[in-house]
Structures are given as structure tokens and as C-alpha cells.
């Protein structure tokens, strides 16, 4: 009934994929200026957030985030121009994909059954753990 949601991941080169998790992390780094704060806000361990960021930085020839240790406030993390570009490009692409999906899957979406009560909205990746 409802328009289906599309989850996707973009594979660059050999080892380097970008999906919703890493983009959300970048966005939170951009607004908060800190990797640990971003991790807290996203409900993931700092360890994991750092690994995601490491994977992102090593995916491109330039870093997407520049980080500093120590100093005022203990350090911090800032988006590079490439990081900002990646976010923008990804979000624009995502919007087009969702719009296209709503049209493309209209013929079959009506036949999909939603098992739970009524029309449940698509839950975010984070909350699907106990769903």
C-alpha cells in the first residue's frame, strides 16, 4: 500500500562502500564537530563510529574528515570539502531514488501485505534490532 522504501549502498572501487550509516555519521560530525558526540547521538559505540570513519577516509584519496587530538575540548573532527560534497551528492541521489521507487513499484506495492498492525511506517535501521 504505502510506497516502498529503498535502502542502498554505493560501492566504490574494491574496498569502500558508502551507505546510510556512514552518511549519517558524517552529518553529525558536521553539525557537532566531534566524532564521539556523533557516536553518542547515533547510539553507536565510539569504537564503531571510528571504524566507519576510518573506512570512509581510506576509501578516497583525500580524507572526508580531518581530526585533531588533544587541545581545547580534547580535540575534534571537521568535515573536509570532499566530505561535504559526498553528503550532498548522496542525499540528492537518495531523494531521486526514493521518488523513482514510488513510481516503479506502484504495480506491486498494492499487493504487499504488512503483517503488523495497520500501516506501519518503515522503521530506521537503528530501531530494527528488536523489531
Partner DNA sequence: TTTCGTTATATTCGTATGAACATATCGTCA
Partner DNA sequence: TGACGATATGTTCATACGAATATAACGAAA
What is the Cα–Cα distance from 64 to 79, expressed in whole angstroms? 6
With 0-12 / 13-18 / 19 or more C-beta atoms within 10 angstroms meaning exposed / middle / buried, residue 28 is buried
- Can residue 96 be called a binding residue for a second copy (CB under 8 A)? yes
Residue of 54, 62, 92, 96 interacting with DNA (CB under 7 A):
54
- Can residue 102 be called a binding residue for a second copy (CB under 8 A)? no
- Can residue 122 be called a binding residue for a second copy (CB under 8 A)? yes
Contact predicate 80/64, CB 8 Å: yes
| Residues 64-93 interacting with a second copy (rule: CB under 8 A) | 82, 85-86, 89, 92-93
CB of 106 to DNA, least distance (A): 28
Amino acid at each position: 500500500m504505502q510506497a516502498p522504501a529503498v535502502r542502498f549502498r554505493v560501492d566504490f572501487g574494491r574496498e569502500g562502500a558508502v551507505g546510510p550509516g556512514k552518511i549519517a555519521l558524517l552529518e553529525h560530525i558536521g553539525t557537532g564537530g566531534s566524532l564521539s558526540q556523533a557516536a553518542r547521538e547515533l547510539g553507536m559505540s565510539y569504537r564503531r563510529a571510528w571504524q566507519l570513519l576510518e573506512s570512509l577516509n581510506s576509501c578516497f584519496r583525500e580524507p572526508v574528515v580531518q581530526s585533531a587530538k588533544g587541545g581545547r575540548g580534547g580535540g575534534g573532527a571537521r568535515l573536509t570539502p570532499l566530505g561535504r560534497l559526498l553528503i550532498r551528492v548522496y542525499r540528492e541521489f537518495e531523494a531521486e531514488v526514493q521518488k523513482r521507487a514510488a513510481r516503479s513499484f506502484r504495480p506491486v506495492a498494492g499487493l504487499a501485505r504488512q503483517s503488523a498492525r495497520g500501516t506501519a511506517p518503515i522503521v530506521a535501521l537503528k530501531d530494527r534490532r528488536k523489531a
